[in-house]
Structure 1
Amino acid sequence: MKPSDAKQRLIGAMIEALQRRGLHGSGLTELLAAADAPKGVLYHHFPGGKTELAVAAIEVTIARLCDSMEASMAASGDPGAALMIWINGAQKRLDASHYERGCPLATIALETTADDVEIRAALARGFAAVRDRIATGLVNAGYEAAGAHATAALLLAAYEGGLLQARVAGTPEPMALVSSALLTYLKLQRPKEPDHE
């Protein structure tokens, strides 16, 4: 196994663990077994141990979320349609896992304490990056720049909340309700077409 492969396996194992059990519910031995990597490889790539690995998992998850949103916007050009692609994708992944795998960001965010400085900083940077991507997509679609960041914060909070509720309920209904409400909101906020004489 190449060192780079081992590093990616460790990150993948951490993302999977965060989705299913959270940071504190996942032991180091379990992570190493899932990644098929010895402890020495973990500390070679992540000298800060489990915390540094968790930060790397957060960063990879954020990058994937941002790429997914950009692909959805590129495919549709409409923020409402892009939002539906994004939410439907999350819902399909949740359903495929039998409602066992939630968003790793929400899971780890809910269990952090004031002592988890590096993890909280990575989450804060990550959520800010996702909000910025959403806001940029809204502005590019003609929405007012002044309200784009607030709308992005609302969309992200609703997405995370809907996913969390769907996971604990074991049903897609919360995500469907969130989707419907967000689409209505985006339609109300939609920029008006200029009048042509």
Structure 2
Amino acid sequence: MAESVRERLIGSAVELLQRRGVAGTSIADLLERSGVARRSIYIHFPDGKNELITVSVAQAGDRISTFIEELVATQTPPEALSAFVGFWKHLLASSDFEAGCPIAAAAYGGLEAPTARQRAEQVFGRWQELLIFSLVAHGVDETEAAGIATTTIAAIEGAVVLCIAARSTAPLDRVHSQLNRLL
């Protein structure tokens, strides 16, 4: 089944967010990447770029949340961490260290897309809830689990940025090692 115009716009927005951030993603870039007519943006996203970015962050966040849910439901915390780090290493290497996290990009781009930043906060909150639930299920005190969840997300997101800057997965490998010790 062919991708709808709306889906093409959302997919293009996610890709551009990962590579250029909110400020570096223009309407012209979105049109070129998606191959749709300019009016399509305003038909599907009447509030323009901010709405498109917000919806794109929500969908990307949902996909990653589903992935995290699957990991924590079927694996121990260290195994889930290893799988998640593997996901990021693959994404970084396959994009030649150009694509990062679209959720982090939305958080950074709050001035240009304030509702996308709010959505990013919700997505990060959901990820923390998933990790807390898993850690508590594996015997970690809830307060301790909350701290570990926040540390894990912050460390991985930061490591992804460092990997892009260094064009290497070494920062993520080091963070992975330290988080394994914490777990």
Q: TM-score, normalised by structure 1?
A: 0.87
TM-aligned CA deviation for residue 169 of structure 1:
0.3
Q: Report what 1:176 is aligned to.
A: 173
TM-aligned CA deviation for residue 56 of structure 1:
0.7
1:64 partner amino acid: R
- Which of 90, 97, 102 in structure 1 is aligned with 2:100? 102
Distance 2:101 2:115 in 1: 19
Q: Report what 1:191 is aligned to.
A: none
* Residues 143-152 or 156-165, more deviating: 143-152
Percent identity reads 29
Distance 1:117 1:86 in 2: 28
Instruction: Mark the runs of 5 or more structure 1 residues left unpaired by the alignment.
Output: 187-197
User: Which string of whole-angstrom CA distances, capped at 9 and with x for unpartnered residues, describes residues 25-60 of structure 1?
Assistant: 122122012112212221121111100010011111
2:54 partner amino acid: V
- Which of 92, 112, 122 in structure 1 is aligned with 2:110? 112
Instruction: Mark the runs of 5 or more structure 2 residues left unpaired by the alignment.
Output: none
Q: How does 1:22-101 map to 2 (within 5 A)?
A: 22-76=21-75, 78-101=76-99
Distance 2:113 2:32 in 1: 25
User: Which string of whole-angstrom CA distances, capped at 9 and with x for unpartnered residues, describes residues 92-119 of structure 1?
Assistant: 1101111011111222322333x64312
Distance 1:38 1:140 in 2: 49
1:184 partner amino acid: R
User: Which string of whole-angstrom CA distances, capped at 9 and with x for unpartnered residues, describes residues 133-183 of structure 1?
Assistant: 111111222222222222111110001001110111001110000000000
User: Greater CA radius of gyration, 1 or 2?
Assistant: 1
Q: Report what 1:139 is aligned to.
A: 136
Distance 1:103 1:74 in 2: 23
* Residues 16-25 or 142-151, more deviating: 142-151
Distance 1:43 1:111 in 2: 21
* Residues 58-67 or 138-147, more deviating: 138-147
Is this contact kept in 1: 2:54–2:115, CA < 8 A? yes
Is this contact kept in 1: 2:101–2:157, CA < 8 A? yes
Is this contact kept in 1: 2:31–2:38, CA < 8 A? yes
Q: RMSD over aligned Cα, in angstroms? A: 1.7
